[in-house]
Structure 1
């Protein structure tokens, strides 16, 4: 009996931790509309992890078929999936997106869309020639607090937007993690301006409903890395956490064996591809920045100042939107402290707050719609995103589902900022040659 009749069949490319959100949805909450039928990864151990998750639901049914990266064309020809979910490392996204589109297969792409302007242009050419559809997974759009900011701006609550200040803080747990894994190499991730900030630039583009035009950036590696460790007298450190006998007392060490998912996906998979998930954050080979400041000019005249810090003592973000009729402020505390001791939350409580103050009026706190504090990630946005991906978007006047134009616009800011870091000059976004689409 064919149990996939009436359901869309998905191939999952990249079976690391990022794939779990989509695979688990297809096995549980969205199993009535879709199912995984193939894995594609360089690592057999990681694919076995997802085989086990599949069998936990489907029992003795055959697990999805397995393919290596070099066999992706064979996967498309033999399995003939309805859709491909791309959660592979960032620098590989383009090869799977292009191949799937050329095969007429719909694509779901994890952010960022890709890591270079050349790869982005290849995706654009494939999309223009294909009848298939590609969507980006910008789940932060679906967080109720961010949706409310979009609604307020679109309603004219602050008039015409003149400027935005956007500050993002990654704490010494989450932020440090980007410096342990492959993301630490700029050639693979595009740095935090592409890999991480693509979320943030997309939010700003979406909130303003505008296209970025000019970018200038400053930044550098100020906290992590071997040079900074030497300057602060941290002494010799092992190349990875598991080789550190004192790691129990080291807040920057990561014990892969202590977490079942990390153990199975990475520690036990090292022998297959040699990938080390727990490299020292103060080691050699880090080529990305941990402190970044960006100035963005938009086509309609608004500007944005953006900053990212990857070693803060708390995690969250602050946004201020100035307009011709007033000011809108959003503060989000996702993690109030990192092992700060008793009483830390008395000063900084986790949660979110939106404040609107129109000219010559008292400030008012705008209620954040329900759903922001649920069991799902990204401020409650993941569950809503999954519905749009697998069940199809409904009538959404705020246009939360993101397409290729949105993917190009978000990475355009990061790519232009990287060029500005390298040259010391402002960069016109149009010079990247990306199809940014209409406003």
Structure 2
């Protein structure tokens, strides 16, 4: 069987997850043929990684303005899109028009207009789009799907979902490009797309009505005084004030971050280490969302980006009982490597409370790899040999649209104070 050819655009922090997998674990079925990015230094570093760690000869590199040229010269079967969120639609659509399927990092895009353009391109070209929702593949999340599919708690009537980002991982969204809602759609789109997709996946239902509240209540210049911040700086590198700031990211202290960002600044002027209490932050760090689904189930959801531990708690109520989920996660800085929570036990538990029976804990087969063991399974599903999946974890463009529409509606509700109807944004019936 001929290898499937891939080219990748956007060679930042998340890109390594894909390009390393293609050249190592899936080299028998897949071939990486080119890199494309706005920054040559970053592409050169990716090629250095491939050569030193995988003995792969340097790939051809193309600047983002040469995206079409790359496709015509390298003739990939599919494009992997790992650029800044607001540009996803540009490369998804152009790749399809040039005859390629697409694999895109979540979120699929950041607003309903761009989502509609993507759906029209899929209809027009007949090409396939996969959205990489790795959390679906984490064994504990798949187990929840299995329990609901097996009628363990009957028809689901309500879900309470609380996600906590800690002061390492959560703060990281306020240091980099995500801090501008135009780039990321805010955390309700960029981060919560994972969580809204999980609820859609678990329930097999579609969101209909969304109401949200939230604000910037911890980070940002307006909150600096309450946090005890008296010395201000724009970015950490070269700043005396940053040396005593527990929220500062020091790019020169980690080889990967230095190579990918500090050394690359000369080309695009992007600062990866901005102050979380600086100017220019227009996304929320505290959010609550109420969602009604087409099966009449109700979701109450919260996201806080400055907690002392990282993970989530989910309570799912049904006509035959209740499922309680608690997961403590690893904490990390994107592209800078993972670090354990100090003094905290990593734990995952799923407890079922039958309506008229004794509660019991559900066994979870511990997964290896990032995102609770979901990353390796997702990569295998994308780049390996196709396998039957009773849980239908592979996420289509419709799944990608449904997950972001909840966040997009949430942003509109934040702005207007009104409940938003999903069908008014984009009709996916």
Distance 1:381 1:232, change over 3 A: closer
Please list, as runs of the form range in 1=range in 2, the aligned pairs for 1:37-436 lying within 5 A after superposition: 37-56=33-52, 59=55, 61=57, 63-335=58-330, 345=343, 349-371=345-367, 374=368, 376-435=369-428
**Distance in structure 2 (CA, Å) of the matches to 1:277 and 1:57:** 25
Cα distance change on mapping 1:280 and 1:58 into 2, 3 Å: closer
Identify the match of residue 25 of structure 1 among 21, 33, 36: 21
Indicate if the aligned counterparts of 2:231 and 2:241 stay in contact, CA closer than 8 A: no
Contact 1:408 1:434 in 2 (8 A): no
Q: How many angstroms does 1:55 deviate by?
A: 2.2
Between the aligned partners of 1:354 and 1:231, the Cα distance in structure 2 is: 38
- Shift of the alpha carbon at 1:177? 0.2
Write the deviation string for residues 383-430 of structure 1: whole angstroms up to 9, x where unpaired: 000001012431111101111010000000000000000000000000
Structure 1 residue 249: Cα displacement: 3.3
Partner SS, residue 194 of structure 1: helix
Q: Distance in 1 between matches of 2:25 and 2:314?
A: 33
Deviations 1:123-155 (A, max 9, x none): 000001123211010000000000000000110
Number of matched residues?
A: 422
Deviations 1:15-63 (A, max 9, x none): 00110011110121111111211111010000001111232366584x2
Contact 2:103–2:131 at 8 Å: present in 1 too? yes
Worse-matched range after superposition: 25-34 or 171-180:
25-34
Q: Contact conserved, 2:321 with 2:355, CA < 8 A, in 1? A: yes
Unpaired segments of 5 or more residues in structure 1? 338-342
Q: Distance in 1 between matches of 2:275 and 2:304?
A: 19
Q: 1:136–1:407: 8 Å Cα contact kept in structure 2?
A: yes
Partner SS state of residue 97, structure 1: helix
Check the 8 A contact 1:318/1:331 in 2, yes or no.
yes
**Structure 1 residues 305 and 433, CA, compared in 2 at 3 Å: closer, same or farther?**
same
Structure 2 gaps of 5+ residues are 333-340
Deviation for aligned residue 1:251: 1.1
User: What is the Cα deviation at residue 336 of structure 1?
Assistant: 8.9
Give the Cα–Cα distance (whole angstroms) in 1 for the partners of residues 144 and 406 of structure 2.
21
Q: Does 1:6 align with 2:2?
A: yes
Preserved contact between residue 412 and residue 434 of structure 1 (Cα < 8 Å): no
Cα separation, 1, equivalents of 2:330 and 2:61: 38
- State the SS of the aligned residue for 1:193: helix
TM-score, normalization by structure 2: 0.95
Displacement of 1:230 after TM fit? Answer: 2.8
- Give the deviation of 1:242 after TM superposition: 1.4
Partner SS, residue 402 of structure 1: coil
Return 421-430 or 393-402, whichever deviates more: 393-402
- C-alpha displacement at 1:258, in angstroms? 1.2
Equivalents in 1 of 2:133, 2:342: separation in Å?
A: 32
Give the aligned CA root-mean-square deviation in angstroms: 1.8
Q: Does the Cα contact within 8 Å between 2:208 and 2:291 map onto a contact in 1?
A: yes
Give how far 1:433 is off.
1.7
Are the aligned partners of 1:120 and 1:434 in contact in 2 as well (CA < 8 Å)? no
Determine if contact 1:117/1:434 at 8 Å carries over to the other structure: no
Runs of 4+ in 1 over 3 A off after TM superposition: 57-61, 246-249
